[in-house]
Amino acid sequence: MKRLALTLAGLVGIPLTAADASGPTEIRVALPPDPNAVPVFILEQRQDEFLPDAELELVPNPAGDPSAMRAMVQDGRTDFAFFNLVGGVRFVEGGLDQLELVAPWVWQGIYLLTPEDGAGAKATDGEQVLVAPGLSTPPHVVTERALTEHGITPDFASSGAGMALLAQARNPRRAPEGVAAPEPLVSLILHQQAADDWEQQWAIELDPAQALEQQLDVRIPLGAIWAVRDQVDDEQRQALMQGIEAVTDWLADPGNHEQAARIAAERFDTFFDMPIPEAALLRMLRSERVVWNPEGDEDTRQAVDDYLREVFDTQPPAGL
């Protein structure tokens, strides 16, 4: 994987910063509590192994709030942002031109849940489907497009993220006909309904990204790594991406899943104030419900362009 994504964000002409001074390279990374987080937590906790010549500082974006992420970039509070691909593109379209795509890297990790004893996706037609973290995010738009291909048009509504959604999902008198959400929230729901014997039980009905890939013959890059152009130099970029590649390879070994789940559970709690049982994260990893793979060749460039056009009806910004 050493072809990496450095080709997506040109290294020529990037000014050097204080990171070139003696001592470890400082790297600040902003991230929300979504599929991006698990590998970044591993990288943080095993820096001596995966990031030996750098010092990683994580910057939380607890709600996955686009306005908060925009402010972090504008204020120079982060060097890199792990953020969904289309959200970053919208920032660039809105004038945040210092944001630069390094690599798409989350290729799977959102799902549609429906009641276990229900009629599946077709029962959502004309009915409420709650979306986490909110409307116009990939869980909403990708799920909506996948269902539309089958003539199913739910009434999507924002759920927000976290405990409010769980409280509604567990009660059949309040529950919607579906929940479109990212990991690890999906695994949290599946774990808690079994642990607490919820009256309303859920099952994974659809992987909308996979469904769209089959329907449209378009690869679906969900999450991406972004650099803040005027904050980042060559040394920081290479150090981070080499570390990300190493962690991605490490997570591909099932023998590391228990340790990864322990690290991620502790950091979701302490970093995001979002308690997720270790068992839920272990189930997510063992079920391979998230696919991480930083890519940066010409096929990936084309996948990004096709995804934006076909799914979001958006033209890729020049110089992305």
Chunked mean pLDDT (size 10), the chain, 320 residues: 36 38 81 91 96 93 75 91 90 90 94 95 97 91 95 93 84 95 95 97 97 92 92 91 96 97 97 94 96 87 91 81
Q: Same domain, yes or no, for 226 and 87?
A: yes
pLDDT of residue 18: 40
Q: Same domain, yes or no, for 172 and 296?
A: no
Residue 65 lies in a domain: yes
Q: Which of 37, 202, 181 is nearest to 114 (CA)?
A: 202
Q: Same domain, yes or no, for 290 and 160?
A: no
Residue 198 lies in a domain: yes
pLDDT of residue 13: 36
pLDDT tens digits, one per residue of 37-80 = 999 999 999 999 999 989 999 998 866 578 888 888 898 999 99
Residue 139 lies in a domain: yes
Q: Same domain, yes or no, for 100 and 231?
A: yes
pLDDT of residue 3: 32
- Sort strands 223-228 and 80-84 into parallel, antiparallel or unpaired: antiparallel
Last residue of a domain, one of 173, 206, 239: 206
Last residue of a domain, one of 156, 172, 206: 206
DSSP annotation of 315 reads P
Q: How far apart are CA 320 and CA 301, in angstroms?
A: 10
Residue 141 lies in a domain: yes
Q: Same domain, yes or no, for 172 and 250?
A: no
Q: Same domain, yes or no, for 102 and 126?
A: no
Domain count, the chain: 2
Specify whether the CB–CB gap between 219 and 107 falls below 8 A. yes
Domain residues for the domain of 150 are 110-206
What dihedral do alpha carbons 243, 249, 254, 255 form, nearest 10°?
Answer: -60
pLDDT of residue 297: 79
Q: Same domain, yes or no, for 67 and 194?
A: no
Q: Same domain, yes or no, for 104 and 12?
A: yes
Q: Same domain, yes or no, for 170 and 238?
A: no
Helix, strand, coil % in the chain, rounded to nearest 5? 45, 20, 35
Specify whether the CB–CB gap between 86 and 308 falls below 8 A. yes
pTM for the predicted model, two decimal places: 0.88
Looking at 62-166, which runs of residues are DSSP E strands? 80-84, 99-108, 110-115, 128-131, 155-158
pLDDT of residue 66: 80
Residue 214 lies in a domain: no
Q: How far is CA 314 from the centre of its chain?
A: 20
Last residue of a domain, one of 141, 175, 206: 206
Q: Same domain, yes or no, for 15 and 73?
A: yes
User: At residue 145, what are phi and psi to the nearest 5 degrees?
Assistant: -65, -40
* CATH code of the domain covering residue 182: 3.40.190.10
pLDDT of residue 48: 94
Q: Same domain, yes or no, for 225 and 103?
A: yes
Q: Same domain, yes or no, for 190 and 225?
A: no
pLDDT tens digits, one per residue of 191-201 = 999 999 999 99
pLDDT of residue 24: 79
Cα dihedral sign, 90-12-106-69: negative
Residue 154 lies in a domain: yes
Residue 211 lies in a domain: no
Residue 227 lies in a domain: yes
Burial 88-126 (b: 16+ CB within 10 A, else e): bbbbbeeebebbbbbbbbbbbbbbbbbbeebebbebbee
